[in-house]
């Protein structure tokens, strides 16, 4: 079902919106003037828009990855070339992942010995590299656990357990980019919409602490939907966000709206739906955001949620395309914590 943004003069349905995000549908978003775009954005589009939210005086520092992280990106491409068709992932033997893990450790050791440019002599570079190797090893080790569990028939039929397993795998994967994850239950967000208090909890949140104003900000927020994971991926996939259920789109859009006030990229907020790993971006200007709290919304200017095609992080080609954005988000989180100077 296609959805298009109306003109400023359009009249939206003024029905009450649900009090909890879990009950939202796509039409609830549309009733307050928030629409999913009709065209797919590229990873480059999303990255450019996010970088555009960084204060001009900080862009030289925060919009360019340091050399060590560029090296790690290329190293990741070289070392993690495995691909799994994830709808058949339970057919793969966990021992195959053990072989990948052994080759990874061996290659890391060789790199350290042949560090002719002396990158790792710099303490900050060495800390970043060691974290990356540790988190990447953790991802590969959990991937083995993940596959082994899915091979257990009774376990694989338990939908709650499957979602938990997919969520842990996704968190382990994102951790590889130096992104610290927080289970959504750690904090319940709220916002007033049409005079009603709306609350919601995402599956996963990637927070950071701002040293400037002593607040917790959100780099990105994620929802994990395991049943349809990786159903469509690849450059040539004919993907439309409107193929997803109204419930998935409504819940994710509402959660983005809730997280907006704490977003690192405010007035934009970035999000991920882990159905093949799509990246989403909601941009709501302050005037529109404030107007949502009124019982009758006067500001009719529509806001769009942008999104990418699905990326299967268990596919080498897809994984390569998202490396730079994911490492950049991890770099921002590290800088916000002020734990190291890169």
* Spatial contact of 209 and 196, defined as CB atoms under 8 Å apart: no
Per-residue pLDDT for 201 more than 80? yes
Mean pLDDT of 83-97: 68
Number of domains comprising the chain: 1
What range defines the domain where residue 129 resides? Answer: 21-337
Examine the pLDDT at 241 and tell me if it is beyond 70.
Answer: yes
pLDDT at 233: 52
User: pLDDT tens digits, residue range 204-222?
Assistant: 999 987 655 566 788 888 8
- Asked whether residue 65 is assigned to any structural domain, the reply reads yes
Supply the pLDDT for residue 112. 83
Residue 342 lies in a domain: no
225 located within any domain:
yes
| pLDDT averaged over every residue in the chain | 81
Phi, psi angle pair for 29, to nearest 5°: -65, -45
At 322-340, the pLDDT tens digits run 999 999 999 998 875 443 3
Is the CB of residue 294 less than 8 Å from the CB of residue 44? no
Question: 230 vs 119, which has greater pLDDT?
Answer: 119
pTM: 0.85
Residue 9 within any structural domain of the chain: no
pLDDT tens across 247-289, in order?
A: 999 999 999 999 999 998 988 899 988 865 667 877 777 778 8
- pLDDT tens digits, 116-141: 678 888 888 999 999 999 999 999 99
Q: How many of the other CB atoms lie within 10 Å of CB of 30?
A: 20
- Going by pLDDT thresholds of 50, 70 and 90, the confidence category of residue 16 is confident
Nearest to 328 by CA among 33, 114, 53: 53
Classify residue 8: in a domain, yes or no.
no
Whether the predicted pLDDT of 156 surpasses 70: no
Strands, E assignment, the chain: 34-36, 182-183, 189-193, 196-200, 204-210, 215-224, 268-274, 278-283, 303-307
Single out the residue of 207, 214, 169, 225 nearest to residue 329, CA to CA: 207
The pair of three-digit structure tokens given for residue 154, joined into one six-digit string: 């009774």
Question: Residue 14: inside a domain, yes or no?
Answer: no
Residue 4 pLDDT? 44
Give the DSSP H or E segment for 128: helix 123-150
* Rounded Cα gap, residues 263 and 98, in angstroms: 38
Question: Per the domain annotation, does 251 fall within a domain?
Answer: yes
Q: Which helix (H) or strand (E) holds 143?
A: helix 123-150
More confident residue, 158 or 100: 100
pLDDT at 87 over 70: no
Q: CB neighbours of 63 closer than 8 A, spacing ≥ 6?
A: 51, 54
The answer to whether residue 29 sits within a structural domain is yes
pLDDT digits (tens, 9 = 90+) for 37-69: 989 999 999 999 999 988 888 888 888 898 999
């Amino acid at each position: 079902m296609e959805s298009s943004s109306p003109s400023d003069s359009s009249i939206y349905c003024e029905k009450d919106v649900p009090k909890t995000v879990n009950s939202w549908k796509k039409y609830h978003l549309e009733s307050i003037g928030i629409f999913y775009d009709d065209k797919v954005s590229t990873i480059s589009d999303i990255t450019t828009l996010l970088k555009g939210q960084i204060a001009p005086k900080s862009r030289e520092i925060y919009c360019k990855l340091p050399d060590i992280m560029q090296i790690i990106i290329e190293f990741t491409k070289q070392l993690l070339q495995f691909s799994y068709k994830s709808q058949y992932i339970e057919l793969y033997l966990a021992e195959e992942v053990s072989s990948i893990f052994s080759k990874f450790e061996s290659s890391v050791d060789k790199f350290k010995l042949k560090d002719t440019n002396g990158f790792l002599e710099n303490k900050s570079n060495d800390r970043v590299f060691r974290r990356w190797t540790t988190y990447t090893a953790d991802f590969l080790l959990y991937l083995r656990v993940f596959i082994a569990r899915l091979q257990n028939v009774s376990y694989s039929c338990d939908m709650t357990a499957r979602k938990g397993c997919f969520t842990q795998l996704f968190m382990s994967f994102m951790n590889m980019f130096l992104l610290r994850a927080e289970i959504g239950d750690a904090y319940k967000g709220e916002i007033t919409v049409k005079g009603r208090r709306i609350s919601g909890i995402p599956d996963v949140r990637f927070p950071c602490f701002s040293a400037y104003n002593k607040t917790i900000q959100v780099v990105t927020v994620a929802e994990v939907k395991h049943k349809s994971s990786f159903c469509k991926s690849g450059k040539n996939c004919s993907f439309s966000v409107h193929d997803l259920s109204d419930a998935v789109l409504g819940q994710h859009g509402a959660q983005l709206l809730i997280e907006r006030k704490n977003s690192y990229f405010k007035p934009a907020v970035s999000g991920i739906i882990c159905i093949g790993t799509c990246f989403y971006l909601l941009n709501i200007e302050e005037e529109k955001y404030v107007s949502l709290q009124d019982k009758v919304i006067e500001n009719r200017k529509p806001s769009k949620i942008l999104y990418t095609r699905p990326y299967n992080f268990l596919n080498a080609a897809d994984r390569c395309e998202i490396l730079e954005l994911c490492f950049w988000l991890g770099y921002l989180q590290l800088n916000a914590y002020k734990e190291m100077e890169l």
